[in-house]
Amino acid sequence: MAIQTVDAPPAPSHDGVADTSFTARFHRHTVDVDPGVSPERTGSGRTTAWMKVRDEIPRDGAPGSLLDQCWLAYLSDDPATDAVRQAYLQHVDGVDRDDLTGVSLDHTVWFHRPLRADEWHLHDVSCHHFSGSRGLVVGHVFDASGRHAVTYAQEVLVRVRRPS
């Protein structure tokens, strides 16, 4: 028996939303979510995006293959880093987004249900703590029907780029 204790936020569809991915390997459609729907989160350092691998993943049998899990872990790094950058920008004056660079320090992923990384999933990611240049992020991944499939936690180091 699986009991879901976290719900997907009411988010608009990925249809018609610009792709904000930095690579041709996956789609990322960032959407806005009203922070009022999750009162325990202020919206500071929050990123919500529909994501999926661009190419169909070869698999034998049911979803949830090791390759699906590897791809999901790879995808989850992107919105986590973005959430910490947003927290940084909301609390430090005089810095633009393009001035920042980020590095993953720790990354843990828990898979609750099988999934296909080449199908759309909503990543709802919040920076739970930010101190110095390090942020701790918790993300929840939901399938298109709102079922909670994955939870991840990641620590990200953010620094201002030095001029070249």
Torsion of CA 37, 42, 43, 44, to 10 degrees: 180
pLDDT digits 0-9 by tens, 100-118: 878 888 899 999 999 999 9
Q: CATH number of the domain at 46-52+63-160, please? A: 3.10.129.10
Which tokens sit at 80?
Answer: 């986590």
CA 107 to each of CA 62, 74, 84, 118, 153: distance values in angstroms, whole numbers, following the listed order: 26, 10, 14, 21, 6
This prediction's pTM: 0.87
Residue with more model confidence, 103 or 152: 152
Q: Where are the domains of the chain?
A: 46-52+63-160
Q: Which of 21, 144, 125, 48 is nearest to 80 (CA)?
A: 125
Instruction: Give pLDDT, residue 17.
Output: 83
Residue with more model confidence, 132 or 134: 134
pLDDT digits 0-9 by tens, 56-101: 888 776 667 888 999 999 999 999 988 888 888 877 777 777 778 7
Contacts of 16 (CB under 8 A, 6+ apart): none
